[in-house]
Amino acid sequence: MAKFIQILKDINELIVFKHSVFALPFIFIAMIVASKSGSGSMWFGFGLLVLGVLCAVSARNYAMAMNRLLDEDIDRPNPRCSSRPSVDGRIGRANLKAFIIANAVIFVVVAFFINSLAFWLSFVFLAILGGYSYVKRFSSLAHVVLGFCLGLAPIAGVIAVSGEVPLWSVLLCLGVVFWVGGFDVLYSLQDIDYDKGAGLFSIPAIYGQKSSMFISALFHGLCVIFWTLFVWAGGLGFWAYLAVLLSAFILYKEHTIVRADFNKIDKAFFTLNGYLGIMFFILVWIDLW
């Protein structure tokens, strides 16, 4: 029993399950907005809820494990990453590959039971999620690609409910793209020296600290614009606009914290961004209700 618990702990450390808080709220935002506009009710059914959660969890497990597998040569020399289970031997490459395949199969099978569009796009989604790790080796756009990986969450949510991709879901997706891209640039400041030495193409490594702070702020400005357009295109009201306003304030605080003390990047990255997604979902739910 103790060994099984340790395996679960190692898997949790591998995929950092708590980071699901970034994508899940936006999946559910897309699902309740789509359901409300289609049927007049936010409730899309218990079955679809279960299938949606299974898709979200399996897709994220696949993406994180694939990232750990492909980044092993980068992570091993990096002091911040050298203790990861995929690097220190707690989870071997064979087991890691099996975990990746299992979650990919679960994602595709569950998507099949949602609808035909979800099924066929599941292969495209897996290709995008799996390909992210390669981008950092040749392009500083890796931060935006990571944002797009999480931005697929609301697209997947609306496809699950309505089987289509309306304009408002694309705008919500773009907001997530630049939200994640912006805070990933900040997070990468921790590895600026290592990335330079390893020849990686992170924005901090290529453009330096000061320019990276500006680029991150620019990304977050675009995020707020796209989320405002999402609220407008989705026909939402006061509470949804309040969600965007509060998100802008949280992002401002995030930049203030990082500018004042780089040692608090983790606080800005995990705590504030986690609160942002949950707050956004609650206020959109109140608006629709």
Q: pTM for the complete prediction? A: 0.91
- Helix axis angle for 142-162 and 24-39, nearest 10°, is 30
pLDDT at 95: 87
pLDDT tens across 153-206, in order? 999 999 999 999 999 999 999 999 999 999 999 988 888 888 888 788 889 999
- Helix axis angle for 46-70 and 142-162, nearest 10°, is 160
Three-class SS state of 225: helix
Question: Percent of the chain at pLDDT above 90?
Answer: 61
pLDDT at 261: 72
Residue 287 has pLDDT above 90, yes or no: yes
Q: What band does 9 get if pLDDT is binned at 50, 70 and 90?
A: confident
Which whole-number Å values give the CA distances from 206 to 21, 80, 177, in the listed order?
A: 30, 20, 21
Nearest to 216 by CA among 243, 246, 256: 256
Residues 25, 276: Cα–Cα separation, whole Å: 9
CATH class of 13-288: mainly alpha
pLDDT at 269: 66
Categorise residue 235: left if φ over 0, alpha if ψ from -120 to 50, beta otherwise.
left
pLDDT tens across 234-255, in order? 999 999 999 999 999 999 998 9
pLDDT tens across 53-111, in order? 999 999 999 998 898 888 888 888 877 777 787 777 788 888 889 999 999 999 999 99
